[in-house]
Amino acid sequence: MTVTTTLPPLLATPTTVQVRPRYEGSNICTWIGFKHVNYLVEEAVLEHFRQSGVPARELYERHGLCVEFVHLDTRITSAFHMDDLVDAEVRPARRGEAGELCFDVSLTVERDGKPVKSAGSRVHVLLRADQRGGSAEPVPEELRSFTAEAIRRPAPSDLPVPVVTPLALGRGGTGGDPVLAELTRGTNSFAWRWRIPYPYCHFTERLQMSGYLRQMEEVVDLFLADRGVSIKTLLDDQNWIPVVPRSTVTLLDEALMEEDLYTVFTVEEVFKGVTYTARMDCYVLREGRLVRTAEGRITHGYAVIKNRRDWSLVDFDERMLTALGG
């Protein structure tokens, strides 16, 4: 396929595609977790690029441009199941603040013979110029305003970056590191240090959006275990499972393979004893200072498994409320 330099389809013409969730995402019974719902959103946007004549592979191989998902804000309104056939519609939206490509994605499934919108997402994409792959053809004029030499985006919040003293430790950890201690000081937070591995990266060296989604899922799991309400504990004791109606991840800077990523998970609000909202902040240490590379938010509730097909939301009990409050 040849890259065209005609952008109206990419910028203005909606596209549709049918996708199915991956088997890997069916972690509880046949329900699909939030991370894999976001993977469906990613795939729909990539298909939009293909149908618009600018597929991600050709953009990279011909012009050295990396299609980077730099913002995902996804609301899930009803559950996805294993083997669902999902109709995904991608609609180009307004341009981002820094010349980014923006899309609204709608995911619809059939229930009882009727289409039901099960998720919606706002997506921002940046074309990042890559210097590692050798020579490339010039970037088409129509793409230049969406191209950047690096991912450097303004933070949507004004949270200050702590000043810390690093300490070299092993491959990962949740305590004993003064950086972790400083990041959680005086807050209802949990922090984790993690060495960025090769399979979480793309375009040779950078941690990609799906890697941050996996990081968000992992830090929630570690936080709950640290507070004595691990997912397995609540499953065994009460037949409860976590559910996620909304998740947001925003890339701010680049995190590189084999760097240590410091992830802070902070409970912000418990809403009517039914859901809680938490914030994720990710940092790397460079030249003795912390650089925030991403931030995100996730909303969690709990449901009780009723049978192999159904679940229903539950109110938090005293144990859960105590754990969330620190």
What is the full DSSP assignment across 13-47?
--EEEEE---GGGEEETTEEPHHHHHHHHHHHHHH
Q: Is the pLDDT assigned to residue 205 strictly greater than 60?
A: yes
pLDDT at 158: 77
- Spatial distance between the Cα atoms of 123 and 89, rounded to a whole number of angstroms: 12
Judged against a pLDDT cut of 90, whether residue 285 lies above it is answered with: yes
pLDDT reported for residue 319: 96
- Go through the chain and tell me how many residues it has: 326
**pLDDT (0 to 100) of residue 170:** 45
Supply the pLDDT for residue 174.
57
All CATH 3.10.129.10 domain ranges in the chain, comma separated:
1-150, 154-326
Q: Which of these, 316, 308, 298, 297, lies nearest to 240 by C-alpha position? A: 316
Is 0.85 surpassed by the pTM of this model? yes
Structure-model confidence comparison of residues 135 and 247, the more confident one: 247
Two tokens, residue 245: 């109606």
Strands (E), 49-179: 65-76, 86-92, 101-111, 114-129, 147-148, 172-173
189-195 and 201-202 beta bridge pairing: unpaired
Q: Look over the chain and give the mean of its residue pLDDT values, rounded to a whole number.
A: 92
- Higher per-residue confidence, 262 vs 163: 262
Fold of 1-150: Thiol Ester Dehydrase; Chain A (3.10.129)
State the average pLDDT over residues 8-20: 91
Res 17 pLDDT > 80: yes
Whether 130 contacts 60, CB under 8 Å:
yes
The mean pLDDT of 12-25, rounded to a whole number, is: 96
Task: Give the pLDDT confidence score for residue 4 in this predicted structure.
Answer: 52
Q: What crossing angle do the helices spanning 56-63 and 34-51 adopt, rounded to 10°?
A: 60
**In this model, does residue 2 exceed pLDDT 60?**
no
Percentage of residues in the chain having pLDDT higher than 70: 93
Choose from 10-14, 171-175, 211-215, 283-287 the range with maximum mean pLDDT.
211-215
Would you state the torsion angle of the CA atoms of residues 165, 167, 172, 174, taken in this order, to the nearest 10 degrees? Answer: -60
pLDDT above 60 for 178: yes
> What is the CATH superfamily name and number for domain 154-326?
Hotdog Thioesterase (3.10.129.10)
82-89: average pLDDT? 98
**Which of these, 76, 124, 277, lies nearest to 188 by C-alpha position?**
277
Q: What is the pLDDT of residues 98-154, one digit of tens each?
A: 689 999 999 999 999 999 999 999 999 999 999 888 899 999 888 999 999 999 998
Confidence label for 169 from pLDDT (cuts 50, 70 and 90): very low
The mean per-residue pLDDT over the stretch 40-61 comes to 96
pLDDT at residue 287, as a whole number: 87
Helix axes 209-226, 34-51, angle to 10 degrees: 170
- How many Å apart are CA 321 and CA 270, to the nearest integer? 8
pLDDT of residue 48: 97
Q: Which helix (H) or strand (E) holds 193?
A: strand 189-195
Lowest mean pLDDT among 173-177, 220-224, 251-255: 173-177
Query: What's the whole-number mean pLDDT along residues 16-42?
Result: 97
Rounded percentage of the chain residues whose pLDDT exceeds 90: 81
